[in-house]
Amino acid sequence: MTDREDSSIVPDHSRAEATIALASDHGGVELKALLVDHLRATGHDVLDLGTQGPESVDYPDIANTLAQALRAGRAGRGVLICGTGIGISIAINRHADMRGALVHDAFGARLARQHNDANVLVLGGRTTGPEIAKDCADIFLSTPFEGGRHARRVAKLGTPSA
């Protein structure tokens, strides 16, 4: 039997595409909780990957957890939050096929999807207000990738550079 024939090995991406994974370090736990509630209230399936409390955790570990969930097909897109969004953005973008976009407003959220095919929205828990965060998440999740001239550029992101 090949991997493709064994449904326990091949992730069910049809269900996963509808699921949104959220994760944060201690600096983003409050904003993450707000977004989990908001996204569930607006009909999204949510996979909450933690953290759940104020105890200090390391943002690279949180980014790794989210990247593994996306790769395994447990979710189609992700949202990551740390204090400023900077550290966790750096961490997620070290993973192949992860395109994390640190955004601060609706315009950035829209272009992250339209032009960059970002699959991870990154926010700062200490720098992004709750209403802006909700707007960014809603727009990020509802905006398709335009493709066209942008597809060539996004494809180059997967090419190792010298």
- Output the domain CATH number for residue 67: 3.40.1400.10
The set of residues, in sequence order, having a beta carbon less than 8 Å from that of 161 and lying 6+ positions away, is: none
Q: Considering the domain boundaries, does residue 7 fall inside one?
A: no
Catalytic residue among 38, 95, 115, 150: 115
Residue 112 included in any domain? yes
The answer as to whether 135 is a domain residue is yes
Binding-site residues, in ranges, read 25-26, 83-87, 116, 126, 149, 153
For the chain, the domain total comes to: 1
- Examine the pLDDT at 11 and tell me if it is beyond 80: no
Residues belonging to the binding site for D-ribulose 5-phosphate are 25-26, 83-87, 116, 126, 149, 153
Domain presence at residue 30: yes
The 8-class DSSP code of residue 63 comes to: H
Q: Quick one: tokens of 5?
A: 């024939």
Total-model pTM: 0.87
Domain, as residue range, for 79: 13-151
Q: How many CB atoms neighbour CB 11 within 10 A?
A: 14
Residue 140 covered by a domain: yes
Report yes or no on 161 lying in a domain. Answer: no
Whether residue 38 lies in the annotated active site: no
Q: Is residue 17 part of a domain?
A: yes
136 assigned to active site: no
Banded model confidence at residue 94, pLDDT cuts 50, 70, 90:
very high
Distances, alpha carbon 89 to alpha carbons 71, 85, 129, 142, in Å: 17, 6, 18, 21
